[in-house]
Amino acid sequence: MAAVNPWESLISTSSASYRELDLRTEIHDILYGDKSRGIYPHGRWLVVRHYRKDSSGKKVPCNCRSEVWGSANKSTQHKCSYCGGHGFIFDDSFAIGYIQWEYPVSTMEKEEAFGSIELVAPAVYFEYNVVISDEDFIIIPVTSDDGELPSGVVQIEKKLKVNVVNKMRSDFGRIEYLRCRVSEEHK
């Protein structure tokens, strides 16, 4: 007798197999919600700052880099209007994501005089198709009280440095969602 899959009626993505829960659909629902099914959206507007890469996969340096890097004058570098002090060219794009501020770093416990403490660091979740890699940045823009982006120039509320992008896969290998381990960066 074949096993019964309790999630079968919920699976909607054509490329998903019927062996397990379709997490792409679940993540989409969590981020964007679905009014017709009474699901409240939990995602928020974020900006992914992705370093542009050349054909060999290397980051593209900004024109200011050779002049400034290596010199002691760091303030000049931070004033660059092209790279904002990153030293490399990047592309900003909006994405809806979910921030878990205190994600436990389970493999890292620190022994202190008063006992061991669990280290926590933020994690940001995106849909599987968001273009982001290690070393990129996630910018939290200033939004209205209702979470909407104001029109005009985006103001930065917080800047997060991406340390690791985990491509979370299903048992049969499809990327279901992205989990980015991040640390807060001085904006």
Only one of the segments 12-20, 78-86, 108-116, 137-145 lies at the binding site for Zn ion (rule: CB under 5 A); that segment is 78-86
Kindly state the smallest distance separating residue 74's Cβ from Zn ion, in Å: 12
- Which region holds residue 67: left if phi is over 0, alpha if psi is between -120 and 50, else beta? alpha
Contact (Cβ atoms closer than 8 angstroms) between residue 139 and residue 156: yes
The answer to whether residue 80 forms part of the interface with Zn ion (CB under 5 A) is yes
> Strand 44-51 relative to strand 90-112: parallel, antiparallel, unpaired?
antiparallel
| CA separation, residue 114 to residues 20, 110, 117, 164, 171 (Å) | 44, 11, 9, 30, 40
Among 16, 31, 62, 165, binds Zn ion (CB under 5 A): 62
Among 16, 27, 46, 64, binds Zn ion (CB under 5 A): 64
Contact (Cβ atoms closer than 8 angstroms) between residue 85 and residue 77: yes
The answer to whether residue 68 forms part of the interface with Zn ion (CB under 5 A) is no
Kindly state the smallest distance separating residue 26's Cβ from Zn ion, in Å: 40
Kindly state the smallest distance separating residue 64's Cβ from Zn ion, in Å: 3
Contact (Cβ atoms closer than 8 angstroms) between residue 141 and residue 187: no
The answer to whether residue 180 forms part of the interface with Zn ion (CB under 5 A) is no
Query: Scanning residues 6 to 35, which ones bind Zn ion (CB under 5 A)?
Result: none
Residues that bind Zn ion (CB under 5 A): 62, 64, 80, 82-83
